[in-house]
Structure 1
Amino acid sequence: MSDATGWLVAAGVLVVLELFSGTFYLLMIAGGLCAGALAALAGFGGAVQLIVAAALGVVGTVVLHRSRFGHSRRGNTARDPNVNIDIGQRVEVDRWHEGHARVKYRGALWDVELGPGAHAQPGVFKIVEVQGSRLIVSAA
């Protein structure tokens, strides 16, 4: 097996592993391994191939890490309207009891709690967070 084939097989293995990991970092390393294969095809020795593969792998990884794709957003999913369609919807509360209420929303009974800055008075409230079967609301 030639050097270039070895580099490409290793890059292929990393691409398959990337499918299981869900990040792009292994793809950057695989790109470096492909650069090592190109160096082998160009006739460079093993040391130069290794340096080229390592350099491009590191550069690709650093560029990815500094991009917006390098960081996962670990926000609060209980408050994210992209995760939960109830965020931002409105509910009507008829009466409160010590900061808690029970309302019918989407065909079911839900527990409602006041969020920060909201006052316990009857009216329409906006859902700002969902915690299990509890809706956290603020003034609409």
Structure 2
Amino acid sequence: MTPALTWALAGLLLITLELLSGTLYLLVFGVAALAGALAAYLGGDFWLQCLLSGVTALAGIYLMRWWRASHPREAAGSNDLDRGQIVQMDSWIDRPAGIARVKYRGATWDARVEGEYQDGDVLRIRGQENGVLNVGVNRPQ
């Protein structure tokens, strides 16, 4: 088996494993192995194949880290489908701390109330964190 074929098979194997894992690092190493295969196919020495593969891997990891840093993920619960929905006040657990029980979709939830709540105020969901709803007062205008 030629070195170019060995590099190419290793690269394809890593790319295939990437499809099962979803981390993108194996994709970077698979592409780097394909760069080594290209160097071998063009007749480069083994040290050049390894160097090209290593440089490609380092560049890919750097680009992936840069991309992730420049595209931060949304905070947990920020893509919440319940945001903006109305809940009903059930009872206070700790009123000074703003912790209450609310009813929403037929279930009782713990909620963190933001703002000053008065009887009759409408509470709307603003987000969720660790199973606790963050709700806010929405007074009629």
- Please give the range of the TM-score, normalised by the shorter of the 2 chains: 0.7 to 0.9
Counterparts of 2:60 and 2:6, CA distance in 1: 21
> Does the 8 A contact of 1:4 with 1:41 survive in 2?
yes
Aligned to 1:49: 49
Label 1:69 to 1:31 Cα distance change in 2 as closer, same or farther (>3 A). farther
Give the number of the structure whose residues are more often strand, by fraction: 2
Label 1:118 to 1:13 Cα distance change in 2 as closer, same or farther (>3 A). farther
Match status 1:13 vs 2:13: yes
What is the TM-score when the length of structure 1 is the normalising length? 0.76
Label 1:62 to 1:124 Cα distance change in 2 as closer, same or farther (>3 A). same
Give SS of 1:87's match: coil
Aligned to 1:24: 24
Aligned residues: 132
Equivalent AA in structure 2 for residue 45 of structure 1: D
Give SS of 1:119's match: coil
Aligned to 2:119: 121
Counterparts of 1:23 and 1:10, CA distance in 2: 18
Q: Which runs of 5+ in 2 are unaligned?
A: none
Q: What fraction of aligned residue pairs are identical, expressed as a percent?
A: 30
Aligned to 1:67: 67
Q: Which runs of 5+ in 1 are unaligned?
A: none
Counterparts of 1:101 and 1:28, CA distance in 2: 48
What is the TM-score when the length of structure 2 is the normalising length? 0.76
Aligned to 1:91: 87
Give SS of 2:114's match: coil
Task: Render the CA deviation track for 1:94-115: whole Å, top value 9, x for unaligned.
Answer: x654543443x33x13235342
Supply the RMSD in Å over aligned alpha carbons. Answer: 2.7
Aligned to 1:138: 136
> Does the 8 A contact of 2:114 with 2:137 survive in 1?
no
Aligned to 1:109: 107
Counterparts of 1:25 and 1:70, CA distance in 2: 18
Give SS of 1:67's match: helix
Counterparts of 1:127 and 1:15, CA distance in 2: 43
Give SS of 1:91's match: strand
